[in-house]
């Protein structure tokens, strides 16, 4: 039986409580952009027609042309969202024709002003930049009409039109920059998450496979001489595999955001040393009780560092014993792993596991060193500063 989805249930209960008594609530729909554009164009058209009809005596026989031009200006405004450049060109041409051949309307310039703002706001970068280029000849044509004969383009009018364009253009460019920054941030987060997942799976799968390989090799050698001990080794391998599957399921569950955070930590070192003992390596772990109060992220990273170091001991060191020391030293977590294996050759290069440890340490601004131990074998020493994040403390 699946768990009830309490979040959905509470949301449904809130919707039910919001219904009016005795009836269902109809969903509220916001008007579409097309409806808003048509309403805006209709309002301007109505205002222009009222003004044109009121000035019919002065317009005379050119009234039909004035009405057509008013319709073109309003129609251009209706298309300002979908076709900002074409709409502004048509509106500017109609406004210029109105001023040159009919009679300038006191209403139509404001529709043209909105069209210019929309061009800066909604046009592509290249098309939007044509706005100031189109403004000047449109202004010259408008102020060259019969009612403005000989008058220069007023600087204040030109400034207002250019300001409207600049407001729209600047707003869109800021939005584009913000979206580009958000896109870069999303890509960075995805990349970091992929690295983290790869590191987690490498540490988990690599450790388990190496332990299983050692146990399988021991079982193969004992198969003919000691079937009973072989049976025990096979049972141990089965137990190790089941533990690995459970931990893998927890990791994948975190990726799906399912279930609580049950990632391993330093409290599970006893189980880790037990698995190492089953692989033939006796591990002595000394853990400062204070480390169980470190943040969860640091707790997990410290566990993974120890796990990877012991995996390398199994895989490369051919050691019989290993020592793990984890303690708090002021504001840092000190992690050290030593073994009595074959050590390292001169000029050795760190592999994927050691690079993963270095990445984990670097995330906390710490330091790591590894190489031959003072008494032979291999030594890894990591120092990780403890973040002061009370909400992330292990409870």
Higher pLDDT, 299 or 233: 299
Give the range of the structural domain holding residue 351, as residue numbers without chain letter.
186-392
pLDDT of residue 254: 56
CA distance to 190, 202, 249, 326, 360, per residue, from 196 (Å)? 10, 10, 16, 23, 9
Residue range 238-280, pLDDT digits in tens: 777 777 776 676 666 655 554 445 678 888 888 888 877 877 7
pLDDT of residue 251: 64
Q: Do the Cβ atoms of 222 and 230 come closer than 8 Å?
A: yes
Q: Let me know whether 85 and 217 are in one domain.
A: no
Q: Do the Cβ atoms of 317 and 283 come closer than 8 Å?
A: no
pLDDT of residue 261: 52
266 CB contacts (<8 Å, ≥6 apart)?
287, 291, 292, 299, 302, 303, 306, 326
- Distance of alpha carbon 388 from alpha carbon 274, whole angstroms: 32
Q: What percent of the chain has pLDDT over 90?
A: 18
Q: Count the domains in the chain.
A: 2
Higher pLDDT, 29 or 9: 29
H helices of the chain, where?
6-17, 33-54, 56-59, 63-78, 84-97, 108-122, 125-128, 131-142, 155-222, 227-255, 269-278, 296-312, 352-363
- Distance of alpha carbon 262 from alpha carbon 79, whole angstroms: 56
Average pLDDT over residues 332-361: 83
* Structural domain includes residue 175: no
Residue range 382-392, pLDDT digits in tens: 999 988 654 44
Q: Do the Cβ atoms of 95 and 102 come closer than 8 Å?
A: no
- Distance of alpha carbon 198 from alpha carbon 194, whole angstroms: 6
- Give residue 10's pLDDT band: very low, low, confident or very high (50, 70, 90): very low
Residue range 144-175, pLDDT digits in tens: 877 765 566 788 888 999 999 999 999 999 88
pLDDT of residue 207: 65
Higher pLDDT, 191 or 125: 125
* Structural domain includes residue 6: no
* Structural domain includes residue 220: yes
Q: What angle do CA 35, 41, 47 make, to 5 degrees?
A: 135
**Among 370, 389, 394, residue whose Cα is nearest residue 303:** 394
* Structural domain includes residue 116: yes
Q: Let me know whether 209 and 319 are in one domain.
A: yes
Higher pLDDT, 19 or 94: 94
Q: Let me know whether 134 and 206 are in one domain.
A: no
> Angle, to 10 degrees, between the axis of helix 269-278 and the axis of helix 227-255?
140
Average per-residue pLDDT for the chain: 79
User: In the listed set 153, 178, 210, which residue is the last one of a domain according to the structure?
Assistant: 153
Q: Let me know whether 195 and 246 are in one domain.
A: yes
Q: Let me know whether 283 and 343 are in one domain.
A: yes
**Among 187, 365, 392, residue whose Cα is nearest residue 297:** 392
pLDDT of residue 340: 87
Q: What is the DSSP letter of 266?
A: G
Q: What is the CATH number of the domain that holds 371?
A: 3.30.565.10
**Chain centroid, CA 157 distance in Å:** 44
* Structural domain includes residue 330: yes
Residue range 17-68, pLDDT digits in tens: 444 444 444 445 556 788 888 998 899 999 999 988 998 888 888 999 999 9
* Structural domain includes residue 198: yes
Q: What is the DSSP letter of 350?
A: -
Average pLDDT over residues 291-307: 86
Q: Give the pTM.
A: 0.48
Q: Let me know whether 110 and 251 are in one domain.
A: no
- Distance of alpha carbon 108 from alpha carbon 44, whole angstroms: 8
Q: Let me know whether 322 and 210 are in one domain.
A: yes
Q: Let me know whether 302 and 347 are in one domain.
A: yes
- Give residue 393's pLDDT band: very low, low, confident or very high (50, 70, 90): very low
- On the question of pLDDT at 103 being above 50, the answer is yes
Half-sphere exposure of 378 (CA within 13 A, CB side): 25
């Amino acid at each position: 039986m699946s768990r009830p989805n309490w979040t959905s249930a509470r949301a449904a209960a809130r919707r039910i409580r919001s219904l009016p008594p005795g009836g269902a609530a109809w969903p509220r729909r916001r008007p579409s952009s097309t409806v808003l554009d048509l309403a805006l164009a209709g309002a301007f058209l109505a205002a222009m027609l009222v003004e044109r009809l009121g000035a019919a005596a002065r317009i005379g026989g050119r009234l039909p042309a004035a009405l057509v031009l008013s319709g073109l200006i309003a129609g251009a405004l209706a298309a300002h969202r979908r076709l900002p450049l074409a709409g502004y060109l048509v509106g500017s041409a109609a406004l210029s024709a109105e001023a040159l051949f009919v009679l300038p309307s006191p209403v139509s310039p404001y529709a043209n002003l909105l069209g210019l703002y929309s061009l800066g706001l909604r046009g592509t970068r290249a098309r939007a930049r044509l706005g100031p280029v189109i403004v000047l000849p449109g202004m010259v044509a408008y102020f060259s009409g019969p009612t403005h004969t000989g008058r220069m383009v007023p600087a204040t009018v030109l400034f207002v039109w250019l300001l409207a364009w600049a407001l729209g253009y600047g707003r869109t460019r800021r939005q584009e920059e913000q979206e580009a920054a958000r896109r870069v941030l999303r890509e960075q987060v995805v990349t970091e998450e992929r690295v983290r997942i790869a590191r987690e799976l490498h540490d988990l799968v690599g450790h388990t496979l190496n332990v299983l390989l050692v146990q399988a090799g021991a079982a193969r050698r004992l198969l003919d001489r000691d079937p009973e001990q072989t049976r025990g080794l096979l049972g141990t391998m089965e137990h190790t595999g089941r533990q690995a599957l459970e931990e893998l399921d927890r990791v994948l569950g975190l990726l799906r955001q399912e279930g609580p955070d049950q990632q391993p930590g330093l409290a599970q070192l006893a189980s880790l040393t037990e698995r190492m003992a089953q692989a033939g390596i006796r591990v002595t772990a000394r853990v400062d009780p204070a480390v169980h109060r470190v943040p969860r992220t640091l707790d997990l990273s410290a566990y993974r560092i120890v796990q990877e170091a012991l995996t390398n001991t199994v895989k490369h060191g051919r050691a019989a014993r290993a020592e793990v020391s984890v303690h708090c030293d002021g504001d840092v977590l000190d992690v050290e792993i030593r073994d009595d294996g074959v050590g390292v050759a001169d000029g050795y290069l760190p592999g994927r596991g050691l690079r993963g440890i270095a990445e984990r340490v670097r995330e906390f601004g710490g330091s790591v060193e590894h190489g031959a131990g003072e008494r032979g074998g291999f030594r890894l020493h990591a120092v990780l500063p403890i973040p002061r994040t009370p909400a992330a403390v292990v409870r």
